[in-house]
């Protein structure tokens, strides 16, 4: 997985989080599969099509917070992640 401080686009724009569809019990094989990028200030009460219940691993950048909910529309139980 990338280091939280290394989350940037190719042109240097900061990324707050990267969510991945694949995971592994072996650390060097984590953070694989499709990638969903979360930029600073993003607010998505609904996951993009095909992403619901498919995230297996994630990395949150430094100075960023990621909150996720168990149900669409920011309902249900929430969980908070930081670097």
Task: Tell me the torsion sign for CA atoms 55, 59, 61, 64.
Answer: positive
Structure tokens at 32: 């694989």
Give me the residue spans of the domains in the chain. 17-82
Q: How confident is the model at residue 8 (pLDDT cuts 50, 70, 90)?
A: very high
Q: Do residues 4 and 61 touch, judged by C-beta distance below 8 A? A: yes
Tens of pLDDT, residues 25-79: 777 778 888 999 999 999 988 888 888 888 888 999 999 999 999 998 999 999 9
| DSSP helix/strand/coil, 9 | coil
**pTM attached to this predicted model:** 0.85
Distance set, CA 81 to CA 10, 11, 12, 60, 75 (Å)? 24, 25, 23, 7, 17
């Amino acid at each position: 997985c990338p280091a939280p401080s290394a989350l940037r686009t190719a042109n240097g724009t900061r990324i707050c989080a990267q969510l991945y569809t694949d995971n592994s019990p072996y650390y060097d094989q984590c953070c694989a599969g499709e990638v969903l990028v979360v930029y600073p200030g993003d607010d998505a009460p609904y996951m993009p099509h095909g992403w619901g219940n498919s995230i297996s691993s994630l990395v949150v950048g430094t100075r960023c917070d990621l909150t996720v909910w168990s149900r669409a529309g920011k309902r249900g139980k929430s969980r908070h992640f930081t670097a």
